[in-house]
Structure 1
Amino acid sequence: MSHPSETLQMRTSDGFVFHVSLEVAQQMGMTHSWLQSERVGLERSDDDDANIMPLDRVSSEIFRLVLNWCHAMQTIEKPLEPKDKLLQERAIFQNLLTESNANDSTIFELIIAADYLNIESLLQAGTQHVADVINGCDSVEAIRERFNIMYDGAVDN
């Protein structure tokens, strides 16, 4: 278990507080900016709300997936060739989706969270997954049907 001085408290949009190890939190570019802008030291009391990083755009359900991603990324052996790393990240992302029984809405929320938290590897894996799904569709109509996109027939000129 991590010592309290080695964790960062993060509150999701639905009010859940997570104690995240600094090793994991460092994968999130947003934490670097927050720590610098708030000038928060690593010695903080557990009941001090000022030392809890707010995640206004991330629900606890999605943040759990983000944390699973970050923990899995720590297991990747370094250094990997870029192609091997990309393949391993795609496999980790697919495994994350399978384990969580994620639907399209969850995938899009995960991509938005990755962008918000500035986790480049998760953002890249998520957008690549969506691109692969789109590439698997054989027509525009199939894409609309797959993602439940309404088409009103109007064409803007």
Structure 2
Amino acid sequence: MGDSVDEPGADSKTAASGTASAARAWTRVDVVGDGKAVRVAVGGEVDQASARVLVDGLDEGVQRAAEAGVRLVVVDLDATGFLASVGLSALIHAFQRLQEAGRELVVLLSANHRLVRLLWTTALHQVVPVVSSLDDALARLSEAPAAQPAEEPQPK
């Protein structure tokens, strides 16, 4: 019910693909926070070969947020072991789509997760908000009004 897009079997969140260290990417989309947000949980290794799984999960999250009238989409990367540039690009694209629709995307990532360094090195955290817990993500709903559609930057 509501879960979708390529999650491995119920007893395991990852599945080997070729080598013992590589894990097939998966996503799961659900409504959280008493119906206040949509969470797109992402796991495994997101690279060029598996990026479509992430894109499909983000698309479903955007669609579910629109259908439910939810302002916030939380992309939970805590179960993600690797995120290639194609995955970063997919996050930025989903962030822009939501912003244009007056909605918000935040990335949830534990403070000690190994992907934190990637988000700071690539400066993604300057484009897409990053929080360390679902409670922090939900708190954003009371902090700021709904995002307005993006305006074109004015030349200086």
- TM-score (structure 2 length as normaliser): 0.27
Higher strand share: 2
* Higher relative contact order structure (alpha carbons within 8 Å, sequence separation ≥ 6): 1
Higher helix share: 1
Name which one, 1 or 2, has greater alpha-carbon Rg.
1
